[in-house]
């Protein structure tokens, strides 16, 4: 089991790295809030054609979710290859499921 | 000793082939002697795919037998260690590519036939029939014709007929093997399929989706008659007088009993769409009672006395007052003379 | 070799959640679980999308939904996602007190979210007579959103159990993975919510 | 804890040991007995089916009861027999094959088993509580939502509970295989059974949540008045079909892939050859799993999805023949040039090849949409899936049991009896199911309580029934073999079959910590490499040191019991208010156990170096 040698206390290099990471996460958060507001506003004001509106808010949602996964949940970091693989597997099955249920239920 | 394992399989195949040749099952029921467009298309594909599959099977079995004959551990060589082969690119490519080609050979006709059978463009030029699946009986409503029948579906030979199918309760599936493949009858979506029967005859239809205890008894018939006979049948059915008095006295009593017991609450005679129970307009000409029993009076009496014994879980049981055997007999007499048309299953050839 | 090293708060590695084999297993296992949850919610979304117009004569989504409350709920949950990021930040710096503080805030935000959701549901039921049983849409709506709410509730119970249990003893290699895995769960709940507000509420408003 | 020690302990102690064990080898025994029990039950139901269909218009059982038997046969066989038996072999073998001391989550491993068992029990309680489910194992709505009585409710809760157990087992194996391989065991050195376990677990991970949701929807409709499948309130029954098959098709690959893995091991061992085309085998497995998610609608060709959807799904389905074919030919190539020993394990594997090939081919024939309009829901389909499930999965399980029995129990199954069993079962099997292809085409739909006289179906059905009796004899012989072996079976050394993979490098049965020293892996077939290039012993990767072991726990049993009780609560709250006591009580037990598990530190214990050295003597 990994016994640690160098970590009687958190060293300052590590602390700095954590801080930079945190700043990135803050920026991500700001963007997420922004996207949310955009999505709500375009729906509330009804300024956009429905044909465009739905893809736009879906794309906004997908970007937000990518932020959550990659920044908040660290999927961009090392050691997350298998988690990423499994999440993409899940998304693959999820897309098939949703497309199937949307298109092949009423006719 | 194991050599005969391969041979054993071979024997099996031969035996079964013999079986196919000697007996394809009951005429007008089996899918192996098609009498209609859909069934013919299906059989073409069945034969094509079987041939391709047999080809593959033969190859597999050849290698298999060869392996078992040649590479069993030999006496005196107990310690022989074979060469540890990792693989072989060329071989592996071959057995990836050849199956792909074989699959294309069957995929193309499959897709073509699928689109062919799903074609509904000509529907409005042809006879359209509304098919309703019910726990455990079938109802047919000839669209635009004011004709309603149950259990026996009359269609003209050599004509495309479009069936618009929907269920009133659970999912059923409409299957007349020798005329066409099946189509599910769903409660929320209407399905359309066409059938075209080549020859006159009475064809067995079956429900092919588990729908309750009497699923296996939900048979029906497709009565294929010539175009002239069909036209006459339509004419006769349109002119039915639901109130008509039967000739003989017993039947008249039966008719009275039929009214008294409120049988009309569920059943209809004539083109009224009441559809809790089967429409009885041409009951006397039906090829079977309840889809399965020979159309004799004894059987009908049995049915009226205790339908549960014949079709467990049916919706008639318990929904009418008890009738005595005598009364049932009279009702049966009445019902069996409901023959508004001269065109009956007997006219459908055989 | 002493066997209780994993309980010693002094030895805090860079990634405490993955410092032991147990931790690594938990980390990976939980990610996989989330992969499965993706399909779980996909089925609910699919069902909802298939039934979104099945009002059976009752109110439609456009009649029902108000955007203000949903917006507030969204902000609450998004923020709680950030606060749990802060908690993990402090965990990595081995600052247990601050971690607990941020987790506490996360819990508070979570409870407010849940409160709004309960209010929303009762509102629909009383004002519109729109229930779980009134139409297929009702069933699909309450099931999808309710499953998410159920996840939030379970998450809150879990979080409180974790915080209370470890309040006295602080952070160590045995419980660090547990906190970390919780934070993953909480983010995932947020992910689901992003799709719920987009697919259910915003698209429901557009029709 | 050697065998001798186990035998000397009292019955109570052994029972308690099994109730609380988290050792993967004991859990393998539990799965074996649980799954075996349900297999007999499912087989008994199959016999009832066959007796009823022995002659036309038979009245051996009533219509309603037939539907119950047929539903329970399918459900039991798939969820409670085949999958647990596979999980038994996975548990027994996979940690050994990768050189691990246990699985990643021993506690969850045991929880998975108890959930399966209690789920199965709940399902079978329905027999005594007003009737079993009767809507087919596919439980199509609205038949399932309107089926009277509580039968389908038992189906829903039983599968929900045991499904949760399977999902847990899947995640467990994934993590075990990723994180706990011995040093040097790269992915491309993993034995194929480990590979197929890995891929199967992925399938479980993505397929079972769909079943979970499907069952929830069904449960809400039946027990809580929702309207998912109620057409009058805008519901749609096709949704159930999609969700069921989105789960259901991957499920059939969950059943077959581990069997593929078993055959790969058995064939390589007894041909004394390295598996031909190992890399291709691995990628074929992955490809099958991947494609397996895109073909579900081939069960719904006749639903009316339209020609576009039907064509797409038909082509995707056919594509699966390619990777499967790669496997078949690779097995043949492995045999080619080998020095083949034919014993019982090998017989089942050799019997599998032609049988499964036929089954797979009828599968491709089914994928041919328009032809499927004829085949669908007829006995042709019944024949297809018994060829692949019995001829693939069940043969695989039997091959695996004969092969690994010595590893699991330290005794070898009787060879002579094993061979007789095989031949009787094989002949019975083909008699039963080959003819059913023709019955289907001759117009016999499946799920038919009776077939009518005079439709040309009599002879075929009679032959089929005779075959089923032969299969039953086969099964009984196998049971006899197990009993005889247990009583006076031959004890074996560690490596009776001249094995190639790591599990043969430990004792038979293995000590509870599996390996005293974690092995160092130098290539594919590590033991074989050491036998041919080394001294026949695996090199250890670490010095003898303390071994960390997990503690046993009674909580998994209690948690599953809690769900079991709550299950009855859910079912009966419809009729009686007191059932809420069961519902909340059961859930309370579950949550309390979860809380205990969460707050009580469970750090396991250590076997010290000294103890290890002492035990070695
Ligand atoms: C272990 C379980 C298992 C397996 C492995 C399979 C494998 C396959 N199945 Fe099967 N199937 C079931 C279990 C299984 N099935 C069950 C239980 C049902 C019914 C469920 C119910 O309704 O109750 C069913 C039903 C079913 C249907 C629906 C039928 C209907 O209801 O109308 C279809 C349709 O396409 C189908 C197709 C296939 C195909 C194409 C494969 C392929 O994977 C087969 C691939 C294998 C081969 C093809 C053989 C080897 C290949 C070669 C030697 C190479 C060369 C070959 C060619 C070029 C063809 N299956
Ligand atoms: C793993 C899966 C599996 C297995 C192994 C089997 C095994 C068998 N099945 Fe299978 N079967 C299914 C899965 C399986 N089946 C499924 C999914 C369905 C569809 C259900 C549905 O439509 O919903 C089905 C449906 C089905 C039907 C169609 C029913 C119908 O549509 O009406 C038939 C009919 O012949 C049948 C027969 C058999 C037979 C004879 C065996 C034999 O191989 C069984 C051999 C075993 C034995 C014979 C046991 C012998 C032991 C004893 C008798 C001793 C008993 C003693 C004690 C209990 C102490 N099965
Ligand atoms: Cu399938």
Radius of gyration of chain C (CA): 20
- Answer whether residue B22 shows pLDDT above 80: no
The reply to whether A52 and A16 lie within a common domain is yes
Interface list for A 21-40 with C (CB within 8 A): 21-22, 25-26, 29, 32-33, 36, 39-40
The reply to whether A43 and A88 lie within a common domain is no
Among residues D380, D379, D177, D200, which one has the least CA distance to residue D286?
D200
How would DSSP label each residue in B55-107?
HHHHHHHHHHHHHHHH-BPPTT-TT---------HHHHHHHHHHHHHHHHHHH
Angle at which helices B37-70 and B3-22 cross, to 10°: 160
Q: pLDDT-based confidence at D438, cuts 50/70/90? A: very high
Instruction: Determine if ligand 2 sits within 6 Å of the CB of residue D177.
Output: no
Cβ D340–B68 below 8 Å, yes or no? yes
Rounded to an integer, the average pLDDT of D601-613 is 87
**Which has the minimum average pLDDT: A63-67, B10-14, C94-98, D49-53?**
B10-14
Q: pLDDT-based confidence at B175, cuts 50/70/90? A: very high
How would DSSP label each residue in D291-335?
HHTT-GGGGGGGGT--HHHHHHHHHHHHHTHHHHHHHHHHHHHHH
- Phi and psi at D287, nearest 5°, equal -65, -40
| Token pair for D113 | 């088993």
Strand partners, B289: B293
pLDDT at B349: 65
Closest atom of ligand 2 relative to the D255 alpha carbon: 1
Residues in CB range of D33: below 8 A, 6 or more apart:
none
Cβ A90–C10 below 8 Å, yes or no? no
- Answer whether residue A83 shows pLDDT above 50: yes
Cβ D234–C36 below 8 Å, yes or no? no
CA separation for the pair B277, D320 (Å, rounded): 46
Cβ A106–D309 below 8 Å, yes or no? no
Closest chain B residue to A104, measured at CA: B189
Nearest CA to ligand 1 atom 12: D385
Mutate to test the interface with D, among A89, A100, A102, A103 (most CBs of D within 10 A): A100
pLDDT at A4: 41
The reply to whether A91 and A70 lie within a common domain is no
Closest chain D residue to A86, measured at CA: D202
Count Cβ neighbours within 10 Å for each residue of D352-363 and write b for 16 or more, e otherwise: bbbbbbbbbbbb
Strand partners, B207: B174
- Answer whether residue C52 shows pLDDT above 90: yes
Please count the other Cβ atoms lying within 10 Å of the Cβ belonging to residue B125: 9
Residue for token pair 């060589």: B77
Strand partners, D333: none
- CB-nearest partner of D304 from A1, A82, A107: A107
Cβ A107–B189 below 8 Å, yes or no? yes
Instruction: Determine if ligand 1 sits within 6 Å of the CB of residue D367.
Output: yes
Identify the burial level of D526 via C-beta atoms within 10 angstroms of its C-beta, where 0-12 means exposed, 13-18 middle and 19 or more buried: buried
Q: Do the bridges between strand D490-491 and strand D411-412 make them parallel or antiparallel, or are there none, so unpaired?
A: antiparallel
How would DSSP label each residue in D148-159?
-SSHHHHHHHHH
3-class state of residue D176 by DSSP: helix
> pLDDT by residue (tens digit) across D292-339?
999 999 999 999 999 999 999 999 999 999 999 999 999 999 999 999
Q: Nearest-CA distance from D126 to chain C in Å? A: 27
> pLDDT by residue (tens digit) across A17-47?
888 888 889 999 999 999 999 999 999 988 8
pLDDT at D352: 97
Do residues D210 and D240 touch, judged by C-beta distance below 8 A? no
Element (H, E) at B130: strand B127-134
Q: pLDDT-based confidence at A1, cuts 50/70/90? A: very low
Distances (CA, A) of D304 to B112, B183, B190, B212, B285: 17, 7, 9, 21, 33
Average pLDDT, chain B: 89
pLDDT at B215: 96
pLDDT at D616: 61
Q: Nearest-CA distance from C132 to chain A in Å? A: 21
Instruction: Determine if ligand 2 sits within 6 Å of the CB of residue D74.
Output: yes
Pick the residue with more confidence: D202 or B261?
D202
CA separation for the pair D183, D520 (Å, rounded): 5
3-class state of residue D424 by DSSP: helix
Q: pLDDT-based confidence at D613, cuts 50/70/90? A: confident
Closest atom of ligand 1 relative to the D295 alpha carbon: 35
Percent of chain B with pLDDT over 90: 68
Percent of chain B with pLDDT over 70: 93
Closest chain D residue to A90, measured at CA: D206
> pLDDT by residue (tens digit) across D215-262?
999 999 999 999 999 999 999 999 999 999 999 999 999 999 999 999
Element (H, E) at D114: helix D106-125
Bond before D509 cis per omega within 30 degrees: yes
- Answer whether residue B1 shows pLDDT above 50: no
Number of alpha carbons in the 13 Å side-chain half-sphere of residue B132: 19
Q: pLDDT-based confidence at D603, cuts 50/70/90? A: confident
> pLDDT by residue (tens digit) across C96-137?
999 999 999 999 999 999 999 999 999 999 999 999 999 999
| Token pair for C153 | 């509730």
- Answer whether residue C3 shows pLDDT above 60: no
3-class state of residue B104 by DSSP: helix
pLDDT at D198: 97
| Token pair for C187 | 């983010």
Residue for token pair 């551990």: B73
Q: What fold does the segment set B249-347 form as a domain?
A: Immunoglobulin-like (2.60.40)
Cβ B184–D304 below 8 Å, yes or no? yes
Q: What is the phi-psi region of residue B25: left when phi exceeds 0, alpha when psi lies from -120 to 50, beta otherwise?
A: left
Protein residues near ligand 3, an ion, with CB under 5 A:
D 249
**Which has the minimum average pLDDT: B103-107, D427-431, D487-491?**
D487-491
CA separation for the pair A84, A94 (Å, rounded): 15
CA separation for the pair D537, D551 (Å, rounded): 30
Q: pLDDT-based confidence at C14, cuts 50/70/90? A: confident
Please count the other Cβ atoms lying within 10 Å of the Cβ belonging to residue D329: 24
Strand partners, B167: B133
CA separation for the pair B316, D325 (Å, rounded): 53
Do residues D221 and D164 touch, judged by C-beta distance below 8 A? no
Q: Nearest-CA distance from D198 to chain B in Å? A: 22
- The pick from D80, D253, D386 for probing ligand 2's pocket by mutation, whose C-beta has the most ligand atoms within 8 angstroms, reads D386
Alpha helices, H only, D191-237: 192-223
Which segments within B256-327 are labelled E, that is strand? none
Q: pLDDT-based confidence at B13, cuts 50/70/90? A: low
Please count the other Cβ atoms lying within 10 Å of the Cβ belonging to residue B83: 8
- The answer to whether A47 contacts chain C (CB < 8 Å) is no
Percent of chain C with pLDDT over 90: 77
How would DSSP label each residue in D463-531?
HHHHHHHHHHHHHHHHHHHHHHHHHHPEE--S-TT---SGGGGS-SSPPTTS-SS-B---SSSHHHHHH
The reply to whether A99 and A66 lie within a common domain is no
Interface partners of B (3+ CB pairs, < 8 Å)?
Answer: A, D
3-class state of residue B139 by DSSP: strand
The reply to whether A82 and A52 lie within a common domain is no
pLDDT at B12: 56
Strand partners, C24: none
Average pLDDT, chain C: 91
Mutate to test the interface with D, among A102, A104, A107 (most CBs of D within 10 A): A104
CA separation for the pair D198, D194 (Å, rounded): 6
Distance from first CA to last CA of chain A, Å, rounded? 59
CA separation for the pair D43, D163 (Å, rounded): 21
Q: How many CB pairs under 8 A join B and D?
A: 301
Instruction: Determine if ligand 2 sits within 6 Å of the CB of residue D40.
Output: yes
The reply to whether A56 and A27 lie within a common domain is yes
Distances (CA, A) of D18 to A41, D95, D110, D111, D479: 60, 19, 10, 12, 22
> pLDDT by residue (tens digit) across C135-187?
999 999 999 999 999 999 999 999 999 999 999 888 888 889 999 999 999 99
Bond before D142 cis per omega within 30 degrees: yes
Q: What is the phi-psi region of residue D344: left when phi exceeds 0, alpha when psi lies from -120 to 50, beta otherwise?
A: alpha
Residues in CB range of B228: below 8 A, 6 or more apart:
none
Containing structural domain, residue A100:
78-107
Among residues D559, D524, D535, which one has the least CA distance to residue D195?
D524
3-class state of residue B169 by DSSP: coil
Distance from first CA to last CA of chain D, Å, rounded? 14
Rounded to an integer, the average pLDDT of B117-128 is 91
The reply to whether A66 and A99 lie within a common domain is no
On chain B, the residues whose CB falls within 8 A of the CB of D274 are: 84-86
Cβ B213–D450 below 8 Å, yes or no? no
pLDDT at A8: 45
- The pick from D366, D376, D396 for probing ligand 1's pocket by mutation, whose C-beta has the most ligand atoms within 8 angstroms, reads D366
- Answer whether residue C6 shows pLDDT above 50: no
Rounded to an integer, the average pLDDT of D3-16 is 72
Mutate to test the interface with D, among A93, A95, A107 (most CBs of D within 10 A): A93
On chain D, the residues whose CB falls within 8 A of the CB of A79 are: none
The reply to whether A68 and A86 lie within a common domain is no
pLDDT at D59: 92
- Answer whether residue D553 shows pLDDT above 60: yes
Nearest CA to ligand 1 atom 49: D360
The domain locations on chain B are 249-347
Nearest CA to ligand 2 atom 24: D74
Please count the other Cβ atoms lying within 10 Å of the Cβ belonging to residue D450: 20
The reply to whether A4 and A35 lie within a common domain is yes
pLDDT at B248: 87
Among residues D352, D481, D347, D339, which one has the least CA distance to residue D413?
D481
pLDDT at A2: 39
Angle CA(D321)–CA(D313)–CA(C33) in degrees, nearest 5?
Answer: 85
pLDDT at B20: 54
| Token pair for B144 | 């635009």
What does pTM read for this prediction? 0.95
Q: Nearest-CA distance from B189 to chain A in Å? A: 6
Separation of CA D364 and ligand 1 centre (Å): 6
Interface list for chain D against chain A, based on CB atoms closer than 8 Å: 174, 178, 202, 205-207, 210, 236, 238-239, 242-243, 246, 293-294, 296-297, 304-306, 309, 548
Separation of CA D578 and ligand 3 centre (Å): 42
CA separation for the pair D290, D285 (Å, rounded): 9
CA separation for the pair D39, D266 (Å, rounded): 23
Residue for token pair 């050295």: D613
Domain count, chain A: 2
Element (H, E) at D390: none
Please count the other Cβ atoms lying within 10 Å of the Cβ belonging to residue B14: 10
Residues in CB range of B318: below 8 A, 6 or more apart:
none
Task: Beginning with the edge strand found earlier in the chain, give each strand of the sheet holding B127-134 in spatial order.
Answer: B147-150, B137-142, B127-134, B160-167, B191-196
Indicate the Cα dihedral angle D97, D100, D106, D108, nearest 10°: -60
3-class state of residue D451 by DSSP: coil
| Token pair for B263 | 């049988």
> pLDDT by residue (tens digit) across D64-93?
999 999 999 999 999 999 999 999 999 999
């Amino acid at each position: 089991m990994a016994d640690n040698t160098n970590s009687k206390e958190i060293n300052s290099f590590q602390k700095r790295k954590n801080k930079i990471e945190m700043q990135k996460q803050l920026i991500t958060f700001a963007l997420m809030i922004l996207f949310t507001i955009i999505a709500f506003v375009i729906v509330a004001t009804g300024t956009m054609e429905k044909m465009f509106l739905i893809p736009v808010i879906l794309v906004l949602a997908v970007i937000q979710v990518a932020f959550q996964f990659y920044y908040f949940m660290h999927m961009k970091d090392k050691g997350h290859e298998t988690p990423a693989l499994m999440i993409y597997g899940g998304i693959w099955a999820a897309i098939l499921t949703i497309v199937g249920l949307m298109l092949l239920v009423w006719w | 000793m194991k050599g005969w394992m391969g041979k054993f399989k071979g024997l099996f195949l031969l035996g079964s082939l013999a079986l196919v040749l000697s007996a394809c099952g009951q005429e007008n029921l089996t899918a192996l002697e098609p009498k209609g467009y859909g069934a013919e298309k299906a059989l073409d594909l069945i034969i094509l795919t079987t041939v391709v599959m047999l080809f593959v099977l033969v190859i597999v079995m050849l290698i298999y037998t060869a392996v078992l004959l040649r590479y069993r551990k030999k006496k005196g060589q107990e310690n022989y260690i074979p060469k540890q082969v990792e693989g072989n690119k060329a071989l592996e490519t071959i057995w990836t590519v050849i199956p792909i080609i074989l699959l294309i050979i069957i995929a193309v006709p499959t897709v073509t036939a699928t689109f062919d059978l799903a074609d509904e463009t000509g529907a409005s030029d042809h006879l359209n029939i509304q098919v309703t699946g019910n726990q455990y009986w079938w109802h047919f409503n000839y669209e635009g014709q004011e004709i309603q029948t149950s259990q026996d579906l009359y269609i003209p030979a050599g004509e495309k007929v479009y069936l618009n199918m929907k269920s009133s309760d659970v999912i059923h599936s409409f299957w007349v093997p020798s005329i066409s493949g099946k189509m599910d009858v769903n409660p929320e979506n209407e399905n359309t399929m066409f059938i075209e029967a080549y020859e006159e005859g009475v064809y067995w239809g079956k429900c092919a989706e588990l729908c309750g205890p009497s699923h296996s008894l939900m048979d029906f018939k497709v009565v294929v008659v010539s175009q002239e006979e069909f036209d006459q049948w339509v004419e006769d059915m349109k002119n039915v007088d639901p109130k008509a008095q039967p000739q003989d006295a017993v039947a008249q009593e039966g008719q009275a009993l039929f009214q008294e017991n409120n049988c009309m609450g569920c059943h209809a005679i004539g083109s009224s769409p009441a559809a809790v129970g089967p429409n009885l307009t041409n009951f006397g000409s039906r090829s079977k009672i309840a889809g399965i029993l020979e159309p004799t009076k004894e059987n009908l009496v049995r049915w009226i006395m205790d339908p549960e014994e014949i079709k467990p879980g049916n919706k008639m049981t318990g929904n009418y007052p008890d009738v005595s055997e005598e009364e049932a007999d009279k009702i049966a007499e009445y019902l069996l003379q409901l023959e508004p048309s001269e065109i009956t299953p007997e006219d459908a050839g055989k | 070799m002493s066997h209780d090293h994993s309980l010693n708060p002094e030895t805090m590695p860079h990634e405490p959640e993955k410092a032991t084999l147990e931790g690594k297993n938990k980390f990976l296992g939980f990610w996989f679980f989330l992969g499965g949850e993706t399909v779980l919610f996909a089925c609910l979304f699919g069902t909802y999308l298939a039934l979104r117009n099945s009002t059976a004569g009752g109110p439609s989504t456009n009649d029902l939904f108000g955007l203000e409350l949903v917006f507030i709920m969204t902000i609450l949950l998004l923020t709680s996602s950030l606060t749990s990021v802060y908690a993990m930040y402090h965990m990595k710096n081995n600052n247990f007190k601050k971690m607990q503080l941020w987790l506490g805030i996360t819990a508070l935000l979570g409870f407010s979210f849940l409160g709004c959701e309960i209010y929303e549901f009762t509102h629909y039921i009383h004002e519109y007579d729109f229930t779980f049983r009134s139409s297929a849409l009702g069933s699909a709506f309450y099931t999808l959103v309710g499953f998410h709410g159920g996840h939030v509730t379970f998450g809150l119970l879990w979080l409180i159990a974790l915080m209370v249990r470890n309040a006295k003893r602080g952070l160590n290699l045995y419980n660090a993975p547990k906190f970390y895995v919780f934070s993953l769960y909480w983010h995932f709940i947020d992910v689901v919510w992003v799709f719920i507000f987009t697919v259910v509420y915003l698209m429901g408003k557009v029709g | 804890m050697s065998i001798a020690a186990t035998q000397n302990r009292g019955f109570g102690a052994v029972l308690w040991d099994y109730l609380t064990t988290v050792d993967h080898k004991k859990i393998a025994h539990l799965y074996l007995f649980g799954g075996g029990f349900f297999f007999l039950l499912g087989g008994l139901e199959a016999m009832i089916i066959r007796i009823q269909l022995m002659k036309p218009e038979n009245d051996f059982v009533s219509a309603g009861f037939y539907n119950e038997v047929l539903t329970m046969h399918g459900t039991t066989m798939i969820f409670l027999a085949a999958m647990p038996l596979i999980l038994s072999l996975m548990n027994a073998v996979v940690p050994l094959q990768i050189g691990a001391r246990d699985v990643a989550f021993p506690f969850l491993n045991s929880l998975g088993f108890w959930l399966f068992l209690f789920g199965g029990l709940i399902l079978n309680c329905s027999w005594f509580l007003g009737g079993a489910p009767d809507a087919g194992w596919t439980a199509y709505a609205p038949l399932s939502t309107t089926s009277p009585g509580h039968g389908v409710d038992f189906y829903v809760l039983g599968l929900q509970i045991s499904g949760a157990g399977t999902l847990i087992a899947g995640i467990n194996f994934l993590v075990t295989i990723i994180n706990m391989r011995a040093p040097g065991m790269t992915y491309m050195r993993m034995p194929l059974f480990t590979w197929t376990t890995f891929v199967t677990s992925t399938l479980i991970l993505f397929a079972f949540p769909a079943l979970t949701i499907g069952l929830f929807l069904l449960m809400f409709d039946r027990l809580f008045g929702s309207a998912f499948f109620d057409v009058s309130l805008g519901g749609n029954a096709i949704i159930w079909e999609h969700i069921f098959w989105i789960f259901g098709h991957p499920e059939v690959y969950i059943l077959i892939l581990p069997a593929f893995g078993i055959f790969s091991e058995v064939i390589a061992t007894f041909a004394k050859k390295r598996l031909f085309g190992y890399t291709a085998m691995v990628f074929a497995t992955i490809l099958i799993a991947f494609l397996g998610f895109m073909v579900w609608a081939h069960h719904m060709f006749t639903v009316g999805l339209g020609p576009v959807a039907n064509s797409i799904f038909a082509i995707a389905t056919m594509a699966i023949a390619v990777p499967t074919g790669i496997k078949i030919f690779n097995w043949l190539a492995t045999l080619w040039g080998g020095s083949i020993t034919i014993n019982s394990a090998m017989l089942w594997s050799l019997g599998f090849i032609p049988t499964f090939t036929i089954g797979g081919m009828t599968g491709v024939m089914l994928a041919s949409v328009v032809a499927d309009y004829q085949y669908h829901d007829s006995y042709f389909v019944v024949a297809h899936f018994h060829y692949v499930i019995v001829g693939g999965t069940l043969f695989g399980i039997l091959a695996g049991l004969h092969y690994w029995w010595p590893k699991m129990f330290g005794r070898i199954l009787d060879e002579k009896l094993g061979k007789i069993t095989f031949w009787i079962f094989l002949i019975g099997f083909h008699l039963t199911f080959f003819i059913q292809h023709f019955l289907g085409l001759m117009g016999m739909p499946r799920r038919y309580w009776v077939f009518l006289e005079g439709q040309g179906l009599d002879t075929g059905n009679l032959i089929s029934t005779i075959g089923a009796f032969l299969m039953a004899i086969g099964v009984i012989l196998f049971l006899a073999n197990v009993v005889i072996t247990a009583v006076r079976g031959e004890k074996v050394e560690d490596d009776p079959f001249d094995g190639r993979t790591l599990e043969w490098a430990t004792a038979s049965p293995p000590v509870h910590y599996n390996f005293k020293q974690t092995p160092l892996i130098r290539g594919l077939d590590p033991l074989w490499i050491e036998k041919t290039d080394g001294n026949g012993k695996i090199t250890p990767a670490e010095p003898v040191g303390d071994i960390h072991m997990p503690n046993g726990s009674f909580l998994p049993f209690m948690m599953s019991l809690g769900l079991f009780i709550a299950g009855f609560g859910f079912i009966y709250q419809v009729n009686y208010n007191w059932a809420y006591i069961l519902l909340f009580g059961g859930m309370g037990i579950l949550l309390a156990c979860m809380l205990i598990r969460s707050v009580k530190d469970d750090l396991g214990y250590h076997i010290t170096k000294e103890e290890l050295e002492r035990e070695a003597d």
